[in-house]
Amino acid sequence: MTGMLPLLILSTSLVPAVVIFFLPEAATRVRAAVNLIGALAKLPLVGLILDGVAAGEQYELRYTLVPGLDFLLRIDALSLLFLSLSAFLWLLTTLYALAYLRDGANQSRFFGFFSLCVAATTGIAMSGSLITFFLFYELLTLSTWPLVAHRGDARSIASGSHYLAYTLAGSTALLLGIVWLEGQVGPVEFAAQTGIAGADPNTLRWIFLLMVGGLGVKAALFPLHSWLPAAMVAPAPVSALLHAVAVVKAGAFGIVRVVYDVFGIGLVTDLGLGVPLAAVASFTIIYGSLRALNQSDIKRRLAYSTVSQVSYIILGTGLAGPTAMIGGLVHLIHQGLMKVTLFFCAGALAETLHIYRIQEVDGCGRRMPVTMLAFSICAVGMIGLPPVAGFVSKWYLGTGAIEAGQIWVLFVLAGSSVLNALYFLPILYRTWFRPATGTWREPLTPLPAAKVWGLVSPAVATAVASLASGLLAAAQPFSPLGWATLIVTRDYGP
Partner 1 sequence: MPGVVWGPDVGSGLLALAVVLPVAGALLILPLGRHAERVPHLLFMAGLVLATAIAYHVWIGGVLTAAIGGWPAPLGIVLRADGLSAVMLLTTALVLVPVGIFAAGEFQPRTADGRESRAGLLFWPLMMGVWAGLNGTFLSNDLFNIYVALELLTLAAVPLVTLEGKAGTLAAALRYLLFALLGSLLYMLGAALLYGTHGTLDLTLLADRVRDDASALIAAALMTAGLLAKTAMFPLHLWLPPAHGGAPAAASAILSALVVKASFYLVVRLWFDLFPSLLDDTGATVLGLFGAAAILSGSVLALRQARLKLLVAYSTLAQLGYLFLMFPLAGGGTEAQPWTAGAWSGGIFHAVSHAFAKASLFLGAGILVQGIGHDRIADLRGAARSLPMVIAAFGLSGLSLMGLPPSGGFIAKWLLLTTAMASGRWGWAVVMFAGGLLAATYVFRVLNRAMATPEQPLRLVQPVHQSRQLAVLFLALVSVLLGLVPAIPFELLQIGGGLSTVEGFR
Q: Output 122 or 469, the one with its CB closest to partner 1.
A: 122
Q: CA 425, CA 205: separation in Å to the nearest integer?
A: 42
Minimum CB–partner distance for residue 104 and partner 1 (Å) = 12
Q: Output 138 or 270, the one with its CB closest to partner 1.
A: 138
Q: Quick one: which of 3, 187, 264, 363 contacts partner 1 (CB under 8 A)? A: 187
Q: Which stretch binds partner 1 (CB under 8 A): 39-47, 137-145, 236-244, 288-296?
A: 137-145
Q: Output 162 or 434, the one with its CB closest to partner 1.
A: 162
Minimum CB–partner distance for residue 114 and partner 1 (Å) = 16
Asked if 67 is part of the footprint of partner 1 (rule: CB under 8 A), the reply reads: yes
- Which of helix, strand or coil describes residue 434? coil
Find the distance separating the first CA and the last CA of the chain, reported in whole Å: 32
Q: Output 64 or 294, the one with its CB closest to partner 1.
A: 64
Q: Which stretch binds partner 1 (CB under 8 A): 128-136, 239-247, 308-316, 406-414?
A: 128-136
Q: Output 196 or 471, the one with its CB closest to partner 1.
A: 196
Residue pair 347/362 in contact (Cβ under 8 Å)? The answer is no
Q: CA 155, CA 477: separation in Å to the nearest integer?
A: 45
x/- map, 142-181, partner 1, by CB under 8 A: x--xx--x-xxxx--x--xx--x---xx-xx--xx--xx-
- Which of helix, strand or coil describes residue 438? coil
Q: CA 277, CA 284: separation in Å to the nearest integer?
A: 11
Asked if 182 is part of the footprint of partner 1 (rule: CB under 8 A), the reply reads: yes
Asked if 186 is part of the footprint of partner 1 (rule: CB under 8 A), the reply reads: yes
Q: Which of the residues 46 through 65 are near partner 1 (CB under 8 A)?
A: 64-65
Q: Output 143 or 335, the one with its CB closest to partner 1.
A: 143
Q: Output 181 or 319, the one with its CB closest to partner 1.
A: 181
Q: Output 168 or 197, the one with its CB closest to partner 1.
A: 168
Q: Output 141 or 466, the one with its CB closest to partner 1.
A: 141
Q: Output 160 or 288, the one with its CB closest to partner 1.
A: 160
Q: Output 132 or 341, the one with its CB closest to partner 1.
A: 132
Minimum CB–partner distance for residue 72 and partner 1 (Å) = 14
Q: CA 296, CA 303: separation in Å to the nearest integer?
A: 12
Angle at 308 between CA 307 and CA 311, to 5 degrees: 90
Residues 6+ apart with CB under 8 A from 446: none
Q: Which stretch binds partner 1 (CB under 8 A): 101-109, 261-269, 411-419, 438-446?
A: 101-109
Nearest Cα neighbor of 325 from 269, 265, 380 is 265
- Consecutive H or E run containing 359: none
User: In 55-103, which residue ranges form alpha helices assigned H by DSSP?
Assistant: 77-100
Size of the site for partner 1 (CB under 8 A): 39
Residue pair 207/197 in contact (Cβ under 8 Å)? The answer is no
- Which of helix, strand or coil describes residue 440? coil
Residues 6+ apart with CB under 8 A from 174: 134, 137, 210, 211, 214, 215, 254
Q: Output 182 or 403, the one with its CB closest to partner 1.
A: 182
DSSP string for residues in 265-293: HHHHHHTT-HHHHHHHHHHHHHHHHHHHH
Residue pair 233/315 in contact (Cβ under 8 Å)? The answer is no
Minimum CB–partner distance for residue 272 and partner 1 (Å) = 25
Give the CA radius of gyration of the chain: 21
User: In 22-62, which residue ranges form alpha helices assigned H by DSSP?
Assistant: 28-54
Q: Which of the residues 18 through 37 are near partner 1 (CB under 8 A)?
A: 21
Minimum CB–partner distance for residue 417 and partner 1 (Å) = 40
Q: Which stretch binds partner 1 (CB under 8 A): 36-44, 130-138, 223-231, 293-301?
A: 130-138
Minimum CB–partner distance for residue 213 and partner 1 (Å) = 14
Minimum CB–partner distance for residue 6 and partner 1 (Å) = 16
Q: CA 265, CA 272: separation in Å to the nearest integer?
A: 11
Minimum CB–partner distance for residue 99 and partner 1 (Å) = 23
Asked if 139 is part of the footprint of partner 1 (rule: CB under 8 A), the reply reads: yes
Asked if 68 is part of the footprint of partner 1 (rule: CB under 8 A), the reply reads: yes
Q: Which of the residues 69 through 98 are near partner 1 (CB under 8 A)?
A: 69
Would you state the torsion angle of the CA atoms of residues 190, 194, 196, 198, taken in this order, to the nearest 10 degrees? 170
Q: CA 299, CA 236: separation in Å to the nearest integer?
A: 9
DSSP string for residues in 130-177: HHHHHHHHHHHHHHHHHHHTTT-SHHHHHHHHHHHHHHHHHHHHHHHH
| Residue type at position 260 | Y
Q: Output 185 or 472, the one with its CB closest to partner 1.
A: 185
Q: Quick one: which of 66, 407, 444, 449 contacts partner 1 (CB under 8 A)? A: 66
Q: Quick one: which of 78, 83, 135, 412 contacts partner 1 (CB under 8 A)? A: 135
Residue 417 CA to its chain's centroid (Å): 20
| Helical packing angle, 389-403 and 369-383, nearest 10° | 0
Contact positions vs partner 1 (CB under 8 A) = 21, 64-69, 105-106, 109, 131, 134-135, 138-139, 142, 145-146, 149, 151-154, 157, 160-161, 164, 168-169, 171-172, 175-176, 179-180, 182-183, 186-187
